[in-house]
């Protein structure tokens, strides 16, 4: 009898299964073998690295500590130098321009006094605060005062922390300068010879930052000239590191900022970024940017784009961040005076302007 296979089935099916079983077993054993080899290799590599690191640290730990300490000290020195800039001497006082003036002390909300010059104008005329910027002195504001005072404006000049007249206070790039500006505004409001309802402010870099911040709380501030303001303290610190020390490395700037904040650990951090577009409504603002300082020019444009009161922007070759002279100085001062005259005019000032023009076409 012939034995056949069922239709559709293969007579090799069973032998194939029998042959595959040892193959599967062989693959599994090979997998275990390879896995064990990889594991042992990794453990050996880890042990070698661990030994090398341990050996390196034992023999070079002192040098590593010295290098890290040196880098840390370098960043501390940079942050300290930024906080205590080389301030310009006050070589002149208001008598250079034949002003009658008074040396006054602005009571600080921190319990000390801010040295300032008071140059009186007309009775009940608006008052203008002039505050030069980082590393500058009160002398840098006298040329502007000489253009404003003939109109009858009362002038209060003070310089920021770290300057010659405030050399006992570290510059904080805006962290504490906002409070100083608020103290100056309150002082000006309380002067009996000044119109308390009409106040103007001129500020440069950190003083411009402080003016825009402080003015939010005082509706009496009607006009602000902000020369080279910035959005954040960190942004201005980066500018100072680039400008004064030619540091462009991001890590270095980050480390300096952290140490700078450690030095000023108890100071808050006001930021123009936190101001709403409506925060300065009702105030006229003139922004000034210098093309010779691209970083600050870009920062000024960013602030200008963010704030939406009545505003203007004036571009000039250089700002009052550095000394200015000649035609550029006259152009700058004339533009500032024109802005304040247009936005702080009162009956007293209008009458004084007519008299000044009648007696001198270029007051």
- Please give the pLDDT value at position 353: 64
CB 155: neighbour CB atoms within 10 A?
A: 28
Residues 146, 362: contact at Cβ < 8 Å?
Answer: no
For range 103-119, the mean pLDDT:
92
Residues 88, 162: contact at Cβ < 8 Å?
Answer: no
Tens digits of per-residue pLDDT, 127-144?
Answer: 999 999 998 889 999 999
243 three-class SS: helix
Predicted TM-score of the model (pTM): 0.79
For range 225-243, the mean pLDDT:
92
| Domains in the chain with CATH codes | 94-231+268-358 (3.40.50.1820)
Is residue 195's pLDDT more than 70? yes
- Please give the pLDDT value at position 32: 61
Average pLDDT, the chain: 82
User: Which two structure tokens, joined as six digits, stand for 26?
Assistant: 């062989």
CA distances from 264 to 2, 76, 169, 209, 269 (A): 104, 12, 12, 18, 10
For residue 227, which phi and psi values (nearest 5 degrees)?
-95, 110
Q: Which residues contact 39 (CB under 8 A, 6 or more apart)?
A: none
**Beta-sheet strands, E only, within 268-334:** 284-290, 310-316
Tens digits of per-residue pLDDT, 314-325?
Answer: 888 777 765 677
279 three-class SS: coil
Highest mean pLDDT among 30-34, 282-286, 348-352: 282-286
């Amino acid at each position: 009898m012939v034995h056949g296979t069922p239709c559709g089935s293969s007579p090799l099916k069973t032998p194939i299964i029998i042959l595959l079983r040892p193959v599967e077993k062989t693959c599994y054993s090979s997998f275990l073998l390879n896995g064990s080899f990889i594991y042992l290799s990794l453990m050996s590599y880890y042990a070698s690295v661990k030994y090398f690191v341990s050996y390196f640290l034992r023999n070079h730990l002192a040098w590593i500590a010295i290098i890290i300490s040196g880098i840390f000290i370098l960043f501390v020195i940079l942050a300290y130098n930024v906080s205590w800039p080389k301030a310009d001497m006050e070589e002149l006082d208001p008598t250079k321009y034949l002003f009658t003036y008074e040396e006054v002390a602005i009571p600080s909300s921190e319990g000390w006094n801010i040295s300032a010059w008071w140059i009186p104008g007309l009775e009940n005329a608006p008052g203008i605060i002039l505050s030069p910027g980082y590393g500058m002195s009160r002398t840098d504001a006298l040329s502007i005062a000489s253009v404003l005072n003939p109109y009858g404006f009362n002038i209060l000049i003070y310089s920021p922390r770290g300057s010659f007249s405030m050399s006992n206070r570290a510059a904080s790039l805006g962290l504490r300068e906002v409070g100083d500006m608020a103290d100056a505004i309150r002082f000006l409001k309380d002067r009996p010879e000044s119109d308390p309802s009409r106040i103007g402010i001129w500020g440069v870099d950190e003083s411009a930052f402080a003016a825009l911040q402080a003015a939010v709380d005082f509706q009496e501030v009607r006009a602000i000239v902000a020369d080279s303001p910035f959005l954040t303290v960190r942004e201005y610190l980066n500018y100072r590191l680039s400008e004064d020390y030619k540091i462009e490395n991001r890590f270095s700037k980050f480390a300096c900022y952290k140490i700078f904040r450690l030095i000023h650990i108890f100071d808050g951090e006001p930021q123009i970024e936190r101001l709403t577009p409506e925060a300065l409504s009702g105030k006229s603002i003139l922004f000034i940017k210098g093309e010779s300082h691209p970083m600050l020019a870009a920062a000024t444009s960013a602030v200008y784009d963010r704030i939406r009161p009545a505003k203007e922007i004036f571009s000039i070759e250089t700002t009052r961040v550095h000394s200015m002279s000649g035609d550029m100085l006259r152009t700058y001062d004339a533009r500032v005076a024109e802005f304040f005259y247009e936005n702080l005019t009162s009956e007293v000032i209008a009458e004084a302007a007519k008299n000044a023009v009648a007696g001198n076409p270029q007051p």
